[in-house]
Amino acid sequence: MKTATRYFAITGVLALLLASAASAQEGSEFVDDIERERLAQTGMKFLNISVSPRAAAMGSAATTHESSSMSMFYNPAGMGSMPTAVHVAFGQVQWIGDIDYNMAAIAFRPGQGNYGVVGLTLVAANYGDFVETIRFDNDEGYLRLGTFSPTAIAVGLGYARSLTDRFSVGAHAKYVHQELTSGGVMSYANESAERSSFNEGTMAFDFGVLYETGFRSLDFGMSVRNLSGEITYAEENFELPLTFHVGASMDMVDLTALNANLHSVLLSIDAERPRDYSEQLKAGVEYMFMNTFALRAGYTFPTDEQGINLGAGVQTGVSSMRIGVDYAYTQFGLFGNVNRFALHLGL
């Protein structure tokens, strides 16, 4: 117990120092007594999309409760307590603006967890087709050059390990690449366009800790996601969407006389400190009956357009395999609604 507490304290201090460093780096500046905040100045925002329907339906308050291959998208330390030897997940997010995000994750626990848990992740963005034009001195004021399709992808390798029966640590390293397609620079002399490539890639890192307090099912967790250096597109520099999360969760049935074998009411709350917008509080609840049927709801605030999150899931056993399907729905105001689907398998 003393060892776990020591690990937790040390890691917590390191995480807080990282968050403080990020905050100091961005810093608020005062000019003529007006506070200026650094907002909307990061790139590769697809890294912030919540790809798990279960997590998204609970307001993306998932720092402490995934315990599967999808933990790598939220807090890689959660993978250390994965109950199965293998977990595989596939999913899609039907985002606003007809943008789709496809997700895949797999985790393997060799030696019954004695060597930790290793996992791989993939997120690929499909932004659709865009009409490409270029400014030109004609009646229309432009030339139509055809269509282009921007792409983005993140491929990651994760590792987590339970250092004690209550304390887990994890890390997730990923290569992130985005291609905005090639751009045209017009030559008016011969009415031709020279092409220039606009694509960049970099390494990014996620770190997390998870601590089971021993008081009923109360868990605490922290994670830092998307640590990386600056990226340059042409003459513009930007950073990845660094975020710092602190969260807690607990099965509220532990405080009641309900049969825990039939009912579960998981309450999860996260506080998020992002690099490029204001702090947010995320809260979600999941009711599960007989460890088979789940109903979920969550909310994130403050937000501009995003509303309530709702979802459902079902899982069942087939021989030694556990199969589950999850769905999440998110209101997004003027932009329409967001739908998420996922299939997951545990062996």
Residue 84: CA atoms inside 13 Å, Cβ hemisphere, count? Answer: 19
Instruction: Confirm if 292 and 315 have CB atoms less than 8 A apart.
Output: yes
306-344 per-position pLDDT tens digit:
999 999 999 998 878 999 999 999 999 999 999 999 999
253-297 per-position pLDDT tens digit:
999 999 999 999 999 999 999 988 889 999 999 999 999 999 999
62-94 per-position pLDDT tens digit:
999 888 999 999 999 999 989 999 999 999 999
Q: What's the pLDDT at 30?
A: 41
Amino acid of residue 118: V
Q: What's the pLDDT at 232?
A: 81
Give the C-alpha separation, 230 to 232, whole Å.
7
Q: What's the pLDDT at 41?
A: 76
- The contacts found for 294-302 with CB under 8 angstroms, 24 or more apart, are 294/54, 294/326, 296/54, 296/57, 296/58, 296/328, 297/57, 297/58, 298/56, 298/57, 298/58, 298/59, 298/60, 298/61, 299/59, 300/59, 300/60, 302/278
Instruction: Confirm if 268 and 64 have CB atoms less than 8 A apart.
Output: yes
Vertex 317 angle, CA 316 and 319, to 5°: 160
Give the C-alpha separation, 216 to 73, whole Å.
26
Which domain does 78 fall in, by range?
2-346
Q: What is the mean pLDDT of the chain?
A: 86
β-pairing, 192-212 with 167-187? Answer: antiparallel
Contacts of 28 (CB under 8 A, 6+ apart): 35, 36, 37, 38
pLDDT for residue 14 is more than 50: no
DSSP single-letter state for residue 41? -
CATH no. for residue 311? 2.40.160.60
Please give the tally of structural domains in the chain: 1
Q: What's the pLDDT at 190?
A: 53
In the three-class reduction of DSSP (H, G, I as helix; E, B as strand; rest coil), residue 213 is classed as coil
Give the C-alpha separation, 8 to 21, whole Å.
20
Amino acid of residue 182: S
pLDDT-based confidence at 136, cuts 50/70/90? Answer: confident
Residues listed for the chain: 347
Contacts of 209 (CB under 8 A, 6+ apart): 7, 8, 11, 12, 15, 75, 77, 167, 168, 169, 170, 221, 222, 223
pLDDT-based confidence at 32, cuts 50/70/90? Answer: very low
Q: What is this structure's pTM?
A: 0.84
